[in-house]
Amino acid sequence: MHVHILGIGGTFMGGVAAIARGAGHRVTGSDRNLYPPMSTQLEAIGIEVIDGYGAGQLDLDPDVVVVGNAMTRGMPVVEAMLDRGLAYLSGPQWLAEEVLHGRHVLAVAGTHGKTTTTSMLAWILESAGLSPGFLIGGVAENFAATARLGQPPFFVIEADEYDTAFFDKRAKFVHYRPRTAVLNNLEFDHADIYADLAAIERQFNQLLRTVPASGRVIVNADDRNLAETLAAGCWTPREGFSLAAPGAEWSAHIEPDSAGARFEVIANRRAVARVEWPLLGAHNVMNALAAMAAAHHAGVSPERAAAALCSFRGVKRRMEVRGRVRGVTVYDDFAHHPTAIAATLEALRARVGGARVIAVLELRSNTMKRGVHRDVLAGAFAAADEVWLYDPPDLGWDLRAALAALGDKARFAPTVEGLVAALAAALRADDHVLVMSNGGFGGLHGKLLEALAARECA
């Protein structure tokens, strides 16, 4: 089969391409401004990528066109596809029909922690010798790729609630029909897609409707929004994970002064394993509990799962150290929601103690750019000593007013270059700079390290 993928450069669609190639199909695709890691991953597996969305690419005469959710009506290739009456599917539907059918799907959903938990779960199953297929929305350091076909029966997938395609406005995850479903947490996000939290809860309830009674739902027992979603209907046995709820089947005791780097795993009120790893934060301990519970449903013992987590190396752009210059450590993190910002800063604070923590934020997601969380944003920076924000003139709302409660702790710059220059001049030895964005932030990480190095040479 010849599969042609529109929007092949996204992490999800690039993963679909890799899986299709692994299944023996001829794969081509198109995108604009392709960049690593997907550009290098596609090149390495020999997939031809056409630049742009011109109609002429359909002269390749594919058997099916797989349409990414970045595609819209009005694009020449989309209009030509419809006019010619070509067979087309969304990425999630193609994956469901061609790969996931008949497999034991383990799907990880939630507002936060999906990529990390999916990576942990895939690594646990891999370490147990099960060779799972997987599709991860990020680069897990333990794997050479973001996706692979793997061996039956297990397939681990990051279950995104974003909409599927221009012709299918359901959440992607309703296509996956998991036997094991992880629900990490649930907050309002994706304001460009959903009107309110209730709209997202309805999609999560649709996911629950697809999990069989012989399956398992692994749920964050501390999350009130998930509790409401479950109350609306759940037909599957469930297990809870928590660091606080007394009735949760899975919990942990974090060793004092370890910042989450060492913890004891407790299953059904019995200590079953110990984890010591390079990750930080209570939020990552929660992710680990979710992954271990899901792996247990797939037949992996807690002891074996914990041993795998001890060798888990994390995910790129999750508090990833990008460099150290003049005693200043610069981190890259994907945090783009107040809850994730707060959790990441608290984890870093626990690790570095009294050293200065400098938070640098780009409001890049649709939800953040719209100012949906402006009333709670200031509180997310409680663990930071200083907060530097990229405040472009076209933001559309008053970021400075929203963060007035931070006083002199907050600094603003209208350009990335100005932000870099001001930061480089203000930083001093032993500072820890946490740069947060779900985009490239105009290359700020590298520019800041270069500016610090230039000052050192001077």
Q: What backbone phi and psi angles, to 5 degrees, belong to 118?
A: -60, -45
- Write down the pLDDT at residue 293: 98
> Two tokens at 427?
């930083």
Angle at 193 between CA 192 and CA 197, to 5 degrees: 105
Q: What is the DSSP letter of 232?
A: T
Q: What backbone phi and psi angles, to 5 degrees, belong to 275?
A: -120, 130
DSSP string over 143-185: SSSSEE---SSEEEEE---SEEETTEEEEGGGGT--SEEEE--
Bond from prior residue into 153 cis (ω within 30 degrees of 0) = yes
> Two tokens at 331?
């981190």
Q: Tell me which architecture the domain covering 102-310 has in CATH.
A: 3-Layer(aba) Sandwich (3.40)
Fold of domain 320-457? Protein-Tyrosine Phosphatase; Chain A (3.90.190)
Supply the pTM of this predicted model. 0.85
What pairs with residue 242 in β-bridges? none
Contacts of 394 (CB under 8 A, 6+ apart): none
Rounded Cα distance between 188 and 39, Å, is 31
Q: In the chain, what are the domain boundaries?
A: 2-89, 102-310, 320-457
Rounded Cα distance between 113 and 291, Å, is 11
- Write down the pLDDT at residue 323: 86
| Cβ burial, residue 170 (10 Å; 0-12/13-18/19+) | middle
**Matching fold, domains 2-89 and 320-457:** no
Per-residue pLDDT tens digits for 301-324: 999 999 999 999 888 777 788 888
CATH of domain 2-89: 3.40.50.720
- Where the chain has pLDDT below 70, the residues are 191, 369, 371, 456-458
Calculate the CA dihedral of residues 74, 77, 83, 84 and round it to 10 degrees: -170
